[in-house]
Structure 1
Amino acid sequence: MRFNKLDLNLLVALDALLTERSISRAGERLHLSQPATSNALARLRTYFDDELLVQQGRTMVLTPRAEGLVDPVREVLMRIDSTIAEKPRFDPGTSTRSFILLVSDFTTTVLMQPLIEQLFQEAPGVQLHLRAQNNRPVEQLEEYGADILIIPEQYASPRHPSVTLFEETYLCVTWEGNPHVTNALGFDDYLAAGHVVADYSGARHIPAFDGWFLERFGVKRRIEISAPTMAALPSLVVGTHRVATVHKRIALRAVQLGLPVRIWEPPLEIPPMRQKLQWHRHRDKDPGLEWLRERAMAVATRI
């Protein structure tokens, strides 16, 4: 099919080339040989009267014209997929569809087990693939790399629809043998203690909670242990005099698992965290995703 003299099949090749910025990798993604991919690039260069990709050292970079095509081309393809390629009906009882969810370790710990159990009862053939979020999770969603993103409200994108799954408050956790915290955890105790925190960035900067804490109280917590997981924090205070400020469900789970810890109400008022479920705006009417969103929201009311 052609539109304005452009072979629309070339749009798929263009999207792959713009994303991969490599003829060989784009060919692998398209299941085409390198000569066939090079030929597609040559035709695209002729149509747009632009080089699109140019060699710079050992890598290929996009021209300004190509940079301007990245989002429009991807949006066109996603619109086609959501309005034409998607089946109009979804039968969970017989479906073998795969869904990709971008989730944190917190979401995996508190939501995924009951959700997977519920889905298995209704749709035993449906597959869920849980993926870790990188430092730009909304871009992962926009690049069509996931069906659903579950993320705190402050990081959700206003460009795409979302719903609140649940709210989460905080508790503090200390080792039950900590001699400095026996009857209550006061604010002075909190400041005096070393802290165990979650840091998902892999870079040295102030985590989100500490930025809020510093702005609110004008002091910094003394962070002595950081880990790339919220779920493990209660275990990391064991045998120490440190404190961890964690999501309430994580703290209660640690007690239920028999960890030698004690939990305390925080000695300061911490705003609750609202966990959002987000999806791409062009997939809003996807019947499979509608079903999955409804089930996730129903399960979230029970956790």
Structure 2
Amino acid sequence: MIRISTMPLNELRRLDLNLLVVLRAVLQTRNVTVAAQKLNMSQPAVSRAIGRLRHVFADQLFIKGARGVVATPRAEALADSISKLLHDLDDLLGSQEFSPSTSNRIFRIATTDYGAIAVLPSLAAVFAAEAPNAGIEVLPFSQDTFRRASNGDVDVVLYSDDPVPDDLQRTILFNETYLSFVRADHPLASRLNNGQPHLDDFLDPPHILVSIFGGRTSELDDRLAALGRSRRIAMWLPYFATAAVIASKTDFILTIPERVASELASPHGLISFRTPVELEGFGYQMLWHARTQSDAGSLWLRRQIISVSRAQ
């Protein structure tokens, strides 16, 4: 961590907090041009700031990579401490008032493909109407998402009801169920009985399995195995939207959460039916760190997410 008390006085004089803001942006984006755009700065100004940071920390910090810059071990070691320091300063110096209509704050939401489809379209409409100058930066879910939430890099995380770290606050947004889908002229569409196919008909065509974090089986496969049955999976992929496009152009069957399905079915000419195997579904939750519990802007964001999620 950054230990201010052990830094020489001449280094402290050079430690402009604005430089740390630049360092955080480059660490987050790994691209000087993108960081400059994010900070409303010119690229040369960001490059000059990096030069000053190299002098302060006596390290190269970043080297050129194929698609941006690569952080040195020293820069990586600084990342968490800088993020926490700047977040704490925001809490100390920032106003506890938040005006959606005038704020230009950029909120950072980490989520998966599912959360992006199920929650963000309605949330974007709220921002357009109530916070037209504010923005949403969506971060892909990764192995360090929970750590970044704890450090204040992420305002909220949208995630399933799987176990999460104890230091994160949480609330269940809704409970989700599953539906199965095929293209409108699929042979199975004419063999539905009260909105549900016979299990043999359901298992005859190939299937698509959407697995956000990888894996060759799902709850559906576990339930089928308990019945002594199985399905043939033709494709495994981590993207719901891509799976819907593929289902619209093939005889593949797609079984996905209902909220995602409601957004994807009509645009891609898919029809839904009840899966002939009972599935439990899952709860979907919003997570945030206690440090942002009383932050006015974060509180407003969480309320909007709860509102749009429970209105569907």
| Secondary structure of 1:231 counterpart | helix
Maintained 8 Å contact 1:11/1:73: no
**1:300 correspondence with 2:312:** no
In structure 1, distance between residues paired with 2:183 and 2:128: 38
**1:191 correspondence with 2:200:** no
What's the CA shift for 1:239?
A: 5.0
Q: 1:96 aligns with which of 97, 104, 108?
A: 104
Query: Could you list the per-position Cα deviations for residues 85-126 of structure 1 after superposition, in whole angstroms to 9, with x for gaps in the alignment?
Result: 322211222222221222333333333232222233332322
Query: Could you list the per-position Cα deviations for residues 39-86 of structure 1 after superposition, in whole angstroms to 9, with x for gaps in the alignment?
Result: 3224xxxxxxxx9x9x9xxx88648xx9887655644443333x3132
**1:117 correspondence with 2:137:** no
| Secondary structure of 1:161 counterpart | strand
Other-structure match for 1:279:
288
Counting aligned pairs with the same residue, the percent is 20
Query: Could you list the per-position Cα deviations for residues 257-292 of structure 1 after superposition, in whole angstroms to 9, with x for gaps in the alignment?
Result: 471x33221122222222212223322221001011
Q: Which piece of structure 1 moves more, 140-149 or 3-12? A: 3-12
Other-structure match for 2:232:
222
What's the CA shift for 1:231?
A: 3.0
In structure 1, distance between residues paired with 2:263 and 2:52: 55
Other-structure match for 2:56:
40
Amino acid at match of 2:280: P
In structure 2, distance between residues paired with 1:60 and 1:292: 32
Unpaired segments ≥5 residues, structure 1: 43-50
CA RMSD of the aligned region, Å?
Answer: 4.1
What's the CA shift for 1:247?
A: 1.4
**1:79 correspondence with 2:88:** yes
CA change 1:252–1:97 in 2 (3 A) is closer
| Secondary structure of 2:311 counterpart | coil
**1:269 correspondence with 2:268:** no
| Secondary structure of 2:250 counterpart | coil
Query: Could you list the per-position Cα deviations for residues 169-218 of structure 1 after superposition, in whole angstroms to 9, with x for gaps in the alignment?
Result: 100112333335612323333333311122445xxx515xx244454544
Superposed counterparts of 1:152-231, under 5 Å: 152-154=160-162, 156-180=164-188, 182-183=191-192, 184-201=196-213, 205-207=214-216, 210-218=217-225, 221-231=231-241
Q: 2:250 aligns with which of 214, 221, 240?
A: 240
Other-structure match for 1:47:
none
CA change 1:240–1:119 in 2 (3 A) is closer
Unpaired segments ≥5 residues, structure 2: 36-42, 64-69
- What's the TM-score once normalised by structure 1's chain length? 0.72
Q: Which piece of structure 1 moves more, 87-96 or 68-77? A: 68-77
Maintained 8 Å contact 1:213/1:220: no
Query: Could you list the per-position Cα deviations for residues 215-269 of structure 1 after superposition, in whole angstroms to 9, with x for gaps in the alignment?
Result: 454466422134442134344223533210011133344454471x332211222
CA change 1:239–1:142 in 2 (3 A) is same
In structure 1, distance between residues paired with 2:136 and 2:53: 32
- What's the TM-score once normalised by structure 2's chain length? 0.70
Amino acid at match of 2:200: D
| Secondary structure of 2:162 counterpart | helix
